[in-house]
Amino acid sequence: MEGRIPLLGEKVTEMEVKTTFGLKKLPNDYVGKWLVLFGHPGDFTPVCTTEFVAFQKRFDEFKKLNTELLGLSIDQVQSHIKWVDWIKEKLGVEIQFPIIADGTGKVAEAFGMIHPGKGTNTVREVFIIDDRGILRLMLYYPQEVRRNIDEILRAIKALQTTDKYGVATPAG
List active site positions.
48
In a domain, 4, yes or no: no
Instruction: Assess contact for 29 and 35: CB atoms under 8 A.
Output: no
In a domain, 147, yes or no: yes
Residue 10's CB is within 10 A of a number of other CB atoms, namely 12
d(CA 1, CA 21) in angstroms, rounded, equals 27
CATH number reported for the structural domain that contains residue 61 in this entry: 3.40.30.10
d(CA 22, CA 26) in angstroms, rounded, equals 13
In a domain, 6, yes or no: no
In a domain, 108, yes or no: yes
In a domain, 11, yes or no: no
In a domain, 31, yes or no: yes
Q: Give the model's pLDDT for residue 157.
A: 97
| CA 165 centroid distance within chain | 26
Domain count, the chain: 1
In a domain, 143, yes or no: yes
Partner residues linked to 139 by β-bridges: 126
Average pLDDT, 10 consecutive residues per value, the chain (172 residues): 74 93 95 93 80 95 98 88 95 95 82 70 86 95 82 97 93 78
> What's at 90, amino acid-wise?
K
Question: CA quadruple 37, 38, 44, 50: dihedral positive or negative?
Answer: negative
DSSP category for residue 66:
T
Q: Give the model's pLDDT for residue 167.
A: 94
In a domain, 5, yes or no: no
Range of the structural domain that residue 104 is part of: 18-165
